[in-house]
């Protein structure tokens, strides 16, 4: 073969490959319509979730809740007579990927409203993108007092923020006679952005350490651990040696189960033991812990079986049917509530999709949602409300708020 022709062919090939790639990328942008939407055009919500990667567990719960909400709202004729669609991408639990996808949602898919992705690490990276684009972002995905404070178009559906995770437990303790109030506390915390905020608070407010201080409870152990640890026995031995009356574990689901087992094996018997980091006692694996899981407290956003939480029972039933597991992960309630807040805001503003108009409406009205009837603070967070559960022999029972209580608290632990 003629050498000159050979390399010419290769040159053409390489240039063709290069230009094809560039064109492929550009091509993605040209197919998006930019026409002004008519009044009967669908309302499009954009979101990502970590459907693969380390956050795929919770993300699956969100996806189901979104699915159910969309089915419900469209079956009932949509919002303000318009169909509701959702463009949902997999961010692979990765903030850089999420950034690319949110830019795409805003600029190519031209969505009307955004829902935030799951967890602070991913959400923190995309909030500035939505802010700069001037798009309303409803946030069922993560808690973070600091991020909420920095964003003007970010509206949370979590009825408590990271720094308030253990507040329900302390508020419950306040209802006890002085003699039952714990004198000493041990707190162990997973090394994760939101559990550490749940420990320390933000700007001097909130956080388990502050709540204990305000009540005169002496902190005798305050340790952090790696959430991927597979053996925490030495940590629990330290806690046991302190003989603290109250054990607060600010953990994520996997390590929560490990801690409960280790506490049981160590024979540590505090008056109160709260897994206050994320809602764990209604997760499918909790009953498998047997005795180790009994009488553990945990805080959550809402629990089915109560009045005043419209849609919660239904979305819980839907998720139970889809996954074969009863109970309501906290995620499903806040995810469903995101749809409810959006629907009520659009209907309340006569079909507006303008970010500022919706934001203004949300700031000044109350919303009936799966996490209760909620009103908003200036920074887009909700006034604190929480449900404290205790996993008793009979299953999860609501202990606090007192008016919702389904059982009396059992203590000491064993």
Query: Can you give the binding site for another protein, defined by CB under 8 A?
Result: 3, 6-7, 10-11, 13-15, 17-19, 21-22, 24-26, 28-29, 32, 51-52, 54, 56, 88-90, 92, 94-97, 99-101, 103-108, 120-121, 124-125, 127-129, 132-133, 146-147, 150, 191-193, 196-197, 224, 226
Q: Quick one: which of 54, 70, 62, 51 has its CA closest to 319?
A: 62
Nearest residue (CB) to another protein, 3 versus 179? 3
Alpha carbon distance 267, 287 (integer Å):
19
Nearest residue (CB) to another protein, 35 versus 394? 35
Q: How far is the CB of 128 from another protein (least distance, A)?
A: 5
Q: How far is the CB of 33 from another protein (least distance, A)?
A: 13
State the burial class of residue 352 (Cβ atoms within 10 Å of its Cβ: 0-12, 13-18, 19+).
middle
Q: How far is the CB of 329 from another protein (least distance, A)?
A: 19
Nearest residue (CB) to another protein, 13 versus 234? 13
Q: Which residues pair with 382 in a beta bridge?
A: 376
Q: How far is the CB of 109 from another protein (least distance, A)?
A: 8
DSSP string for 278-317: S--TTSTTSGGGGGGGTTEEEEES--SS-TT-TTHHHHHH
Nearest residue (CB) to another protein, 240 versus 359? 359
Q: How far is the CB of 21 from another protein (least distance, A)?
A: 5
Alpha carbon distance 270, 290 (integer Å):
18
Structure tokens at 362: 């949300």
Structure tokens at 359: 């934001």
Structure tokens at 46: 């954009």
Distances (CA, A) of 51 to 62, 86, 89, 91: 10, 15, 8, 7
Q: How far is the CB of 10 from another protein (least distance, A)?
A: 5
Alpha carbon distance 221, 236 (integer Å):
10
Helices 253-266 and 233-242, packing angle to 10 deg: 60
Nearest residue (CB) to another protein, 193 versus 326? 193
Q: Which residues pair with 85 in a beta bridge?
A: 44
Q: How far is the CB of 7 from another protein (least distance, A)?
A: 5
Nearest residue (CB) to another protein, 20 versus 325? 20
Helix/strand/coil for 405:
coil
Q: How far is the CB of 85 from another protein (least distance, A)?
A: 11
Rg, Å, the chain Cα set: 24
Q: How far is the CB of 307 from another protein (least distance, A)?
A: 37
Order of strands across the sheet that contains 154-156:
84-90, 43-49, 113-115, 137-139, 154-156
Q: Quick one: which of 206, 152, 96 has its CA closest to 355?
A: 152
Alpha carbon distance 356, 262 (integer Å):
50
Nearest residue (CB) to another protein, 5 versus 39? 5
Q: How far is the CB of 340 from another protein (least distance, A)?
A: 24
Find all residues with CB under 8 Å of 68, minimum gap 6, and list them: 314, 315, 318, 319, 336
| Residue tagged 């160590």 (tokens) | 266
Q: Quick one: which of 391, 405, 330 has its CA closest to 65?
A: 330
Alpha carbon distance 381, 152 (integer Å):
11
Nearest residue (CB) to another protein, 23 versus 363? 23
Helix/strand/coil for 175:
coil
Nearest residue (CB) to another protein, 10 versus 213? 10
Q: How far is the CB of 79 from another protein (least distance, A)?
A: 21
Nearest residue (CB) to another protein, 11 versus 412? 11
Nearest residue (CB) to another protein, 60 versus 398? 60
């Amino acid at each position: 073969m003629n050498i000159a022709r050979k390399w010419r062919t290769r040159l053409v090939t390489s240039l063709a490959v290069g230009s094809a790639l560039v064109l492929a990328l550009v091509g993605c942008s040209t197919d998006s319509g930019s026409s002004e939407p008519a009044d009967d055009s669908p309302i499009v919500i954009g979101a990502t979730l970590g459907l693969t990667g380390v956050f795929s567990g919770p993300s699956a719960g969100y996806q189901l809740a979104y699915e159910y909400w969309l089915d419900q709202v469209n079956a009932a004729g949509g919002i303000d007579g318009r169909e509701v669609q959702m463009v949902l991408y997999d961010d692979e639990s990765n903030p850089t990927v999420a950034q690319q996808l949110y830019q795409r949602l805003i600029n190519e898919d031209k969505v009307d409203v955004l829902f935030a992705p799951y967890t602070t690490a991913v959400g923190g990276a995309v909030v500035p993108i939505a802010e700069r684009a001037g798009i309303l972002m409803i946030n069922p995905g993560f808690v973070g007092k600091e991020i909420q404070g920095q964003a003007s178009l970010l509206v949370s559906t979590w009825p408590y923020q990271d720094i308030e995770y253990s507040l329900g437990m302390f508020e419950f303790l306040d209802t006890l006679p002085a003699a039952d109030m714990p004198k000493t506390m041990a707190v162990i915390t997973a090394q994760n952005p939101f559990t550490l905020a749940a420990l320390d608070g933000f700007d001097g407010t909130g956080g388990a350490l502050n709540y204990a201080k305000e009540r005169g409870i002496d902190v005798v152990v305050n340790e952090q651990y790696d959430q991927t640890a597979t053996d925490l026995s030495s940590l629990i031995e330290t806690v046991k040696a302190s003989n603290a009356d109250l054990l607060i574990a600010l953990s994520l689901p996997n390590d929560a189960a490990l801690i409960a087992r280790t506490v049981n094996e160590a024979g540590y018997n505090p008056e109160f033991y709260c897994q206050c980091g994320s809602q764990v006692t209604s997760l499918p694996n909790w009953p498998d812990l047997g005795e180790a899981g009994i009488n553990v407290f945990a805080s959550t956003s809402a629990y089915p079986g109560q009045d005043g939480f419209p849609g919660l029972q239904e979305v819980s039933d839907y998720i139970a049917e889809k996954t074969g597991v009863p109970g309501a992960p906290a995620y499903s309630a806040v995810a469903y509530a995101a749809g409810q807040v959006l629907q009520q805001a659009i209907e309340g503003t006569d079909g507006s999709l303008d970010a500022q108009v919706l934001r203004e409406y949300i700031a000044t009205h109350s919303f009936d949602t799966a996490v209760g009837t909620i009103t908003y603070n200036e920074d887009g967070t909700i006034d604190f409300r929480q449900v404290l559960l205790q996993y008793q022999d009979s299953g999860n029972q609501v202990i606090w708020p007192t008016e919702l209580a389904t059982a009396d608290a059992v203590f000491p632990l064993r």
